[in-house]
Structure formats: C-alpha cells, structure tokens
Structure 1
Amino acid sequence: MTEVISEELPITRQKPFDPPAEVTEIREKARISRLRFTDGHLGWLVTGHHQVREVLGSPKFSNDPRKHHLLDKRFQGDVPDDPEARKPQPGLFLSQDPPDHTRLRKMLQGQFTVRRMNQLSEWIGTIVDDQLKHVRSLNGKADLVTEFALPVPSLVICALLGVDYDERHRFQEDTATLLRLGSSFEEVRAALERIQGFMRELITRKKANPGDDMISDLLATGEPTDEEASNMAMLLLLAGHETTANMLGLGTFTLLRHPDQLKILKDEPESIDNAVEELMRYLSIVHFGPVRTAVEDVEIDGHLIKAGDTVLLHLPAANRDPDKFAGDPDELDLRRPASGHVAFGHGIHQCLGQQLARIEMRIGFSKLFQEFPDLRLDVAPEEVPLRADMGIYGVHSLPVAWSA
C-alpha cells in the first residue's frame, strides 16, 4: 500500500475543541502512517481508535524513554543524545515496563478502587460546594480556572495524599514548566528536581508523623524505598490536579459554546455520567501522544512495525474515529454512547486515578450549573486563551459572569 508520510507532527489546532485538521486528514487516509522524528527516524503515527488500543494493549511495545527516538525539537528542545540521560527514575512507573511497573502500580491499586472512590463522593461534594460558595462571593465575575477548576482537584488530591494545600506554590508553577511544550531540557530538569525535593521532605515528615492519607499508607507497607515513594507520590500529585483541572475548565468552555448540549445536562441531570464520558472523548486533553517503541516486530492493521520503531499515538484523533463512534464524532452529543474512548489511555498504563477524575467531573459540572444556571462567558470566545503551548490541553483562564 502507498504510505502516508508526515515530515513533522501537526500540532496547530484550527478550532478550540478539535484536533489539528491535518491530523484528521491523515487519519482519514490511513489509521497508521509514517512520521519523521526529529533525529531522522522514520517511525509511525497511529490515529485510528482500534489501532491505538492495539498498540497500548500489546506487551510488544515499551514505554521506557531510553528506547524512544526523539519526537520533535519544536517542543522537546535539545535533549541529550545519551539514552541514559532519559533513564526513568525509581518510582516513576508511568515510564517503566514490567516487572518494575507491575510491582509499583500494584502498591497503589487498592487506593483507587471504584468502591473506595465512590465512598469519597460526599466529601468531594462538600469541597465543590465550598468552592462554589467562594465563587458566589466574587460579585458576578471570575476566572473559573483560578477560582474553581484548579482549586477543586488540587484540594482533593492534596487531602488524599496528605499534602498541605497552602504549599501548592511549591509544585504548581513547576508543574506548568514540566508541561510547557517550549520548556528546555534544562528547565524541565530543574523544575523536576525542585518538585522532587519537596516530595522528599514530605516523605521524611510522613515517616516521622504518619497521617490518614495515601502516602502514609504507602509507607506503612514497607514496600517502596523512600525514593520510589517520593516519585510515586509526585506522579499522583501532578496527574491528580492538572488533568481534571483542565477538563473542568475546557469542559465548561465547551458546554457554554454548545447551549443545546448544556440544556440536556440541566434538564436531564441523570445524564451526567455519560456526559462526562462524551466530554472526555470529545476533548481528549492529552495534546498528542503517548509514545511507545516496539521491542520486537509486530504487525498491526497490515503494517509491519519493526523492533526499535517508535510510535506516536494520537489520542484526540483516535477519539474522533468514525469507525468507532456512531454519528458524527466531530460533534458533541451528550446522549452518544461514549464508552470505549481512550482519553484515559488503555492497557497497563491506563490512568490509575480515572475513577477519582470521573467523580470530580460529575460532581463539579453538575453543581456548577445548578449553582450558576445563567453562567456565561465574560469575553468573546476567541479571546479565551487556549493551552496550545502545553502538553495537557485546556484553557489558561476562563472569564465568566453570572447574575450576582
């Protein structure tokens, strides 16, 4: 078959809620195509839903960054050529393969069961209520990101991990540096070291004075080393507030721009579960990625991916694949059966905290529009600053207004 080859990854979004139009065009030509990486490697771009799931679910692909070819200097900068400089640190299980990944993730799985997360619903509802009372006190105008979307998941994950919310300045700014596409390798390394320093201090405090929190429970098992526990806690802290915060912000922007769909949510509150799944599918806030590298030859959808080939999986494109989702997947439809999306990934690296994120979004969106039924944008839609410069997509701010 004739191969579709992209000399670089399209990253510019023409519309605020859609993947880049060029990526959609590539998907319609070939669900698997070739992509030139920044080091000259001719790897693969996977944009089809079924094909993305097949790669993510296959043990023939590695997530070890030492095996990956460098994707793109536009947002990776000058990464050292030495693969050992990209060696995953102890405890960073997101970048590790079995058996290390299996051992580390198993230590945390009991903390994130559906049952345990559901038991937190009332408590999360109280956090949301309190934050909405704060928003109500702001006299009719606010930046919803600063006052609601970011605080809610930050308060939740800080409380679950036993992190003092007043210390959030010690990780939120550096988290932004880690996610900013234009950050240099040196800037990322320095930000990571600062966060790790904070987490090491936290581990030391928890060992001396355990509390009723996930980190204390993890340390009580005696299984992880201090370095592993520190990095595992860091992953949970960063992933636990950035992703949900951006879904709450971008999701609200989306609903305000789709009043017909917002009306469904208001008129049919029982639709919230599926509404969250559809928003996850439609928005897919992972800007692009993840990346995997084949550790042995594997054939997928008629394409031979050879050992050593690096593959970029494009989740936003896969979640708009008409081969999977009925109707027009480029349209938001809160009544669409949206299960099976890959917004949380798939396979052994599927998001550990996805049930927590779902509960936060269900409660957050429901209570927000109950409390502020006339919520509206306070700027023109094109003036909302988009996070096109970040690895996790969303809005930098969302100026809104309501009848005070």
Structure 2
Amino acid sequence: MSTLPEYRAPRDMRCPFDPPPATMELARKSTVTRVRQWDGIVAWLVTGYEEARAVLSDNEHFSVNPANPGFPEKNAAYTAVMGRDHNLRTMDPPEHGEQKRMLVRDFTVRKVESLRPKMQDLVDELIDEMLDSPQPFEFHHGFALEIPTRIICDLLGVPVEDRNWFTGLSLTATSAGVSVEEAAAAGQDLYDYIDKLLDVKLATPGEDLTSRLVHEQLQAGALSRKDTIELIRFLLIAGHETTANTITLSVLALLQHPDQLEAMKSDPELIPNAVDELLRYLSVAHTGRRRVAIADVMVGDQLIKAGEGVIVGNHIADRDPDQFPEPATLDIRRQNAKTALAFGFGIHQCLGQTLSRVELQVVHSTLWRRVPSLALAKPITELDFVEDRPIIGVDYVPVIWDAGSVQ
C-alpha cells in the first residue's frame, strides 16, 4: 500500500494548463489505477474517457453520498463543510431527481438566454470600469469574478453588496490550504447568513430562486429549513467560483495561443465552439468527480468492489487521445469539443452548465472586440496558480492594453 502513487501531484508551471505530469503518466499506463489521496484513503482513479462516462452515468453501482464508508472526499475542508450537506451534490436517486426538479426551470436554455442582454450590459459595464482604471489592471477580481458573482446574486436574490464577503468565505470553506476549524467556521458563517436570508424572503419575497424555494418548497414541507439552507449555500458557492476561474484561465490560454485568438476574433461564429474547447482544455474542476462503489462492478478491465472509492479524473479524461486527437492542443475548431466532461456526465451533470457557457460566450464575444490589445503585464510563468482548491485558478492577473485601440 505504501508504494501507491499519490493523487494530486503538482502541475508543471511551465505548462500550467496541463494536468500534473505524474497523473498523466498514470493515465498512459492504465485507464483505472489505484492511488492514495490526502487522507490516506485508497481509491481508484479513472482516467479513460469511456470509463469515466460509464462511472458517472452508473447510479446503480456508484453513490455520491459522502456518508458511505470509503467515499474519497476532496479535502479536509470539504469533509468538514460540504461533505455533510444534504443537497444535489450528495444525493442519489430518487432524492436527487426530486430536488433537481425544484430547480431545473431556473436553468433552462430559454431562461438562461433571457438573461443574455443583462449579461451583456454587465460585461460592457465592467469593461468600461477597467478601461477607466490605471494600468496594469487586476483582471481576476476586477472583472472575471464580478460576472458570475453578480449573476448568481441576481438569480438567488442575494444582496450584491455582500459579494466580496461571501466569495471570501466560499474560498475558505472549500480550500485545502486552511485548517478544518477555519473551513468549518466559514461554512457556518455562510449557513447563518442564508438562514437569515430565508427569513427575509418569507417576509418580503422577490422574483428570485430563493424566494420560490422558500414559498413553494419550504413552506409546503417538501424541503426542511436545513436542507433549504444547504441547497442555497451549495448553489451560491458553485454558481460563481468555477465560472470566474474559467473566465480568467480562458483569457490566459488564448493569450498564450495567439493563432487561436486571432481565428476567434476574425470569425465570431466560432465563439460557442471555442468556449466548449476551452472548457475541455482547461477543465478547471481539477480534483475529480467523487464516487464510492455500492456494489461490485467492472470498469474497463478492472473489478471495483463495493466500499471502494472512485475518483473520476474528468480533467484527465478530457485529454484522452482516443476521444480527442492531439488532446494537449487547444483547437477552437475541434468538432467534438462539446463532448468533454468539464461539467460532468449523467444525472449529476452540472445544473448551471448553460449559464456558465453563455457567460463565457458573452465575455469572449465582447472583451476581444472592445479591447483587442489586451495583454499580460508580466510573463505567465510569474503568475501564481492556486492548486489547493477544488477549482484551479490565479488570484492576481495584471493586464495592460493600448488605450488607442479600445472601443
């Protein structure tokens, strides 16, 4: 057991968009490999594309419930905070389907497309603020984080003026770089905040998701107060951090691939597919999708026994050459980019994927048109990539531009 490879080896910062070389080497040897993770739990790492889809779509043999023995949680913070929640992330059928039906109408294609004009106004407003600011401008917090954070505030009916406070708590509650006590305290602060928000929505409901859950589900007895709070907390955290880091990293990736950037600038019709390819190439949810076997099952050529944990390395599977030829190449014309597993697969596929895609489309259709000369103010090798969170990112990204070229 002591010779088992450790999961989550560091990335090579000379190629910061690529998964860790040691993990990629494991994937080249086998699509299903035994690994040891941070807490000593031994789990199966699934890295083949077809094998990953098989696990993610198999609700008969695998569970997402962290209460099951052998479940390989992401880090100590998740164990202390999110792992104890009772919501979409931790629910198996039929509970999962029941709760998802409470939410799905707020994330339909029609609903999300109706928000596109509001997203466009927000992106233009943030670009105006950026262009009025001194150079260099800090891009991640000043632009990328603002977009999904303000949008999720609007959807959930959370006061937008509280965004800096709760985004900080969200990072603490999910980070491997803090103590369990710090993570638990941040998670509790968010819990207490949403608890008070429910009282506000009970007294003065608005046209938002929280108000609807309170009046249609909580008051009707379909959700307990605890479950309502944990669900809103989950949506609040998941609704901003992943997209914010994808915006930042996708901009960095395009700046490092000027041929792809120029192709997208010259043909805006490529943008939807470019977004899908960037999602595949970056796959920012880099800690994998977690499951535990609840019955013996074959995955590829490997027998996984009941009680054994599984880490589906979606970021590795999205580099599977059998599915994506030349997978280490960013190709915005890649025909099957939308088949990537960046949002997962099966019934637990990300509920907000359409929202995230449209946000990214609006960003890339606007930013490069209005600020075509956008550039990094320092070499990418001098940026500090943050790897101790479930979502890889960069907290400080200074950018510059030619003031004479902006619109």
- 1:321-373 deviation digits (Å, cap 9, x = unpaired): 001112x1101111112021000011111100000000000001211111100
- 1:50-103 deviation digits (Å, cap 9, x = unpaired): 111110100110111122537589x538969xxxx986334x221121222221
Give the partner amino acid of 1:267: S
C-alpha spacing 1:78/1:315, structure 2 compared with 1 (3 Å): closer
1:126: which partner in 2? 121
2:62: which partner in 1? 61
Give the partner amino acid of 1:259: P
1:8: which partner in 2? 6
1:30-45 alignment, distance < 5 Å:
30-37=30-37, 41-45=41-45
C-alpha spacing 1:375/1:77, structure 2 compared with 1 (3 Å): closer
Contact 1:76–1:182, Cα closer than 8 Å, also in 2: no
2:332: which partner in 1? 334
Contact 2:36–2:43, Cα closer than 8 Å, also in 1: yes
State how far apart, in whole Å, the 1-side matches of 2:174 and 2:159 are: 23
Deviation at 1:314, TM superposition (A): 1.0
Give the partner amino acid of 2:293: A
Question: What's the secondary structure of 1:312's corresponding residue?
Answer: strand
State how far apart, in whole Å, the 2-side matches of 1:269 and 1:52 are: 32
Deviation at 1:389, TM superposition (A): 2.3
- 1:142-161 deviation digits (Å, cap 9, x = unpaired): 01111110001111110111
Counterpart check, 1:381 vs 2:380: yes
State how far apart, in whole Å, the 1-side matches of 2:368 and 2:297 are: 48
> How many residues were matched structurally?
394
2:260: which partner in 1? 261
Contact 1:37–1:69, Cα closer than 8 Å, also in 2: no
Deviation at 1:233, TM superposition (A): 1.3
State how far apart, in whole Å, the 1-side matches of 2:91 and 2:101 are: 13
Contact 1:149–1:248, Cα closer than 8 Å, also in 2: yes
State how far apart, in whole Å, the 1-side matches of 2:23 and 2:372 are: 36
Contact 2:8–2:23, Cα closer than 8 Å, also in 1: yes
Counterpart check, 1:88 vs 2:87: no
Counterpart check, 1:143 vs 2:108: no
Contact 1:276–1:358, Cα closer than 8 Å, also in 2: yes
Contact 2:77–2:173, Cα closer than 8 Å, also in 1: no
Deviation at 1:118, TM superposition (A): 1.0
Contact 1:36–1:42, Cα closer than 8 Å, also in 2: yes
1:358: which partner in 2? 357
- 1:188-236 deviation digits (Å, cap 9, x = unpaired): 2111100011111111101100011111122231332322222211111
- 1:228-281 deviation digits (Å, cap 9, x = unpaired): 222211111111110110000111111111111110110110000000000000
Question: What's the secondary structure of 1:26's corresponding residue?
Answer: helix
State how far apart, in whole Å, the 2-side matches of 1:236 and 1:225 are: 17
Question: What's the secondary structure of 2:249's corresponding residue?
Answer: helix
The partner residue of 2:202 within 189, 197, 207 is 207
State how far apart, in whole Å, the 2-side matches of 1:87 and 1:26 are: 27
Contact 2:285–2:315, Cα closer than 8 Å, also in 1: yes
Contact 1:117–1:355, Cα closer than 8 Å, also in 2: yes
2:295: which partner in 1? 296
Deviation at 1:397, TM superposition (A): 1.6
State how far apart, in whole Å, the 1-side matches of 2:69 and 2:361 are: 36
Deviation at 1:40, TM superposition (A): 5.2
Contact 2:5–2:35, Cα closer than 8 Å, also in 1: yes
Question: What's the secondary structure of 1:379's corresponding residue?
Answer: coil
1:156-167 alignment, distance < 5 Å:
156-167=151-162
2:193: which partner in 1? 198
RMSD: 2.1
What is the TM-score with the length of structure 2 in the denominator? Answer: 0.92
State how far apart, in whole Å, the 2-side matches of 1:295 and 1:362 are: 39
2:18: which partner in 1? 18
The partner residue of 1:117 within 104, 109, 112 is 112
2:52: which partner in 1? 52
Gaps of 5+ in 1: none
1:165-184 alignment, distance < 5 Å:
165-184=160-179
Give the partner amino acid of 2:89: L
Deviation at 1:140, TM superposition (A): 3.9
State how far apart, in whole Å, the 2-side matches of 1:402 and 1:134 are: 14
Give the partner amino acid of 1:43: A
Give the partner amino acid of 2:84: P
State how far apart, in whole Å, the 2-side matches of 1:86 and 1:400 are: 34
Give the partner amino acid of 1:249: T
Question: What's the secondary structure of 2:394's corresponding residue?
Answer: coil
Give the partner amino acid of 1:333: D
Contact 1:140–1:403, Cα closer than 8 Å, also in 2: no
Counterpart check, 1:106 vs 2:101: yes
State how far apart, in whole Å, the 2-side matches of 1:401 and 1:349 are: 39
Counterpart check, 1:283 vs 2:278: no
